[in-house]
Amino acid sequence: MQIENFINLILIAFGVILVIIFAIWVFKQFIQKNNSIIEIKNAIQNKDYKKALQLAFQYIKDKQPFPIIYLYIAQCYEALYQYHKAIEYYEKLIVLKTNENKYSFKSDVHLKLGELYEYLKDKDTALGYYKMVLDKYKSNPTALIHAAGILFEREQFVKAKILLENYLKVVPADNKARFVLAKIYYKELSYFKAAYLIKYILKSKNDSLVFFGFEIYELLSKIYQLTKEHAKILGLMESFIIKKQHLEKAMPITILALLALGQKKQASDVLNDCLPYFPISTRSEVLYEIGIKFYNAGEYYQAFNLWKLAHKMEPSDGKLTKILEKHRLLIDNPFLENIFTSDSDNFINYIIKVFHVSSKEIMDYTDMAIINKENSISAVVKTPEPVTPEPFLKIEDVVKGLYNKKPITLYSLYEVVDTCKRYLFYSKITIVTGKEFLSFFNLKDASSVSDSRTIGEK
């Protein structure tokens, strides 16, 4: 009996020793593992990424893969600008973590992968990862702003707008995102919304020019132009004109607004004031571009003068030679300025003299005029271009409202386009163009035109 007890005691002691040995082994393994991880972490903190990688790969070789090691490897490759390798180990990390169902950590990795793929210009894959994050965390600001940026680049404005609106609820101070949203509103023709956001940015940042450049002012100017708030454009551009900053854009915008307000003298003054601040080599091009704006505003002869001046500066410029040749008929017949003018009073005075009518018989429009005489109706086209369907049909509509059995004559320096010739109205009218037009409107004594209204009315 005593022998059995002694044997049992020996066995128990042996078992205890084995347990202690195993515990010591486990503890040593734990300490070694922690020490290895600490060494890798320290190497990363010291920016010794190559050493960190050597330790990490040795750890994987000696032991089974551990998620944090893959994270460290990915971070090292990212720091070494080896982004494809970094992506490889971030994706391996996702596989490991998926089994552990740790979504918070996994979402961070998805976010990092999205950023790396976006940097490598693989926007499809990047967008996929951002969407994975947003599926779990709808208000993640990084995923929202990056996904919105990709969608905006692809002109998927509706989707980008939703993400940006949500993003600004989370990060309301981000004016860069607010400006992108303003651009989307502008493209959607929501001008007042776009203007509101831009004015908010300009009000909240005194250094908006530094952060956004001239683009933000240019966009607001376009909105004001579309909403016919031309005076606001002048206020917005005033400091740039005074300080002679960003003149290559600020000057044309200002001149366009002045022309829209009918202030052509002020427009010319701005051009004369600013032109010396442009390099001599670019002044011809500046005059050409500004000439186009004068022409489009109906100031044709002012445009011709600018183009002639530009041509003197650069005689070899083909486009200037071509545009002057195109309008040679008008340039050689300066009396036509009385017809092709935005000055309504001057135009009406001239028409009174030519047609021997009173002002009451003249219906003056922007691009045409109707002279309703007792026995005839005359239509005068006020633009030096071939007559297209839009003004042609407008003339027809106006004439229909008058006594339509009167003979109708259409006066246009240039012919009507072929499309107009297919309309029934074309067969009912007489058209005076070209030399006949010049002969009809060329008064021998144009100096008395300024007094012709009174004479005509008498």
pLDDT (mean) for 143-148: 95
Please report whether residue 133 resides in a domain.
Answer: no
Structure confidence at residue 27 (pLDDT): 42
CB burial of 326-359 (b: ≥16 within 10 Å; e: otherwise) equals: ebebbbeeeebbbbbbbeeeebbbbbbbbbebeb
For 59, other C-beta atoms within 10 Å of its C-beta total: 22
pLDDT of res. 2:
59
Q: How many angstroms separate the CA atoms of 222 and 229, rounded?
A: 10
What local confidence, expressed as pLDDT, does residue 41 receive?
Answer: 78
Contacts of 347 (CB under 8 A, 6+ apart): 338, 339, 341, 364, 369, 382
Between 15 and 420, where is the model more confident?
420
Q: Please report whether residue 370 resides in a domain.
A: yes
Q: Which two three-digit tokens encode residue 304?
A: 């011709």
Count of structural domains, the chain? 1
Per residue in 264-281, pLDDT tens? 999 999 999 999 999 999
Which of residues 445 and 90 earns the better pLDDT score?
Answer: 90
pLDDT band, very low/low/confident/very high, at 206 (cuts 50, 70, 90) = low
The confidence score (pLDDT) of residue 321 equals: 94
Residue 413 within a domain: yes
Any domain includes 313: no
pLDDT of residue 48: 81
367 located within any domain: yes
Question: Would you say residue 409 lies in a domain?
Answer: yes
Per-residue pLDDT reduced to its tens digit, 19-38:
555 444 444 444 444 567 78
116 assigned to some structural domain: no
| Full domain range(s) for residue 367 | 336-457
Prediction pTM value: 0.75
Could you say which DSSP state residue 387 is in? B
- Confidence tier at 403 by pLDDT (50, 70, 90): low
Residue 101 pLDDT exceeds 60: no
Q: What are 148-177's pLDDT values in tens digits?
A: 999 999 999 999 999 999 999 999 989 999
pLDDT tens-digit series, residues 221-241: 999 999 999 999 999 999 999
Average pLDDT score over residue span 110-124: 93
Contact 299, 264 (CB under 8 A): yes
Whether 373 is covered by a domain: the verdict is yes
CATH code assigned at 415: 3.40.1350
pLDDT number for residue 450: 39
Per-residue pLDDT at 404 exceeds 70: no
Say which residue the tokens 């005489």 belong to: 373
- The secondary element (H helix, E strand) that includes residue 379 is strand 377-381
Mean pLDDT of the chain: 85
Under the banding of pLDDT at 50, 70 and 90, the label for residue 69 is confident
The residue among 201, 241, 243 whose CA lies nearest residue 219 is 201
| Token pair 């922690």: residue | 34
Asked if residue 410 has pLDDT above 70, the reply is yes
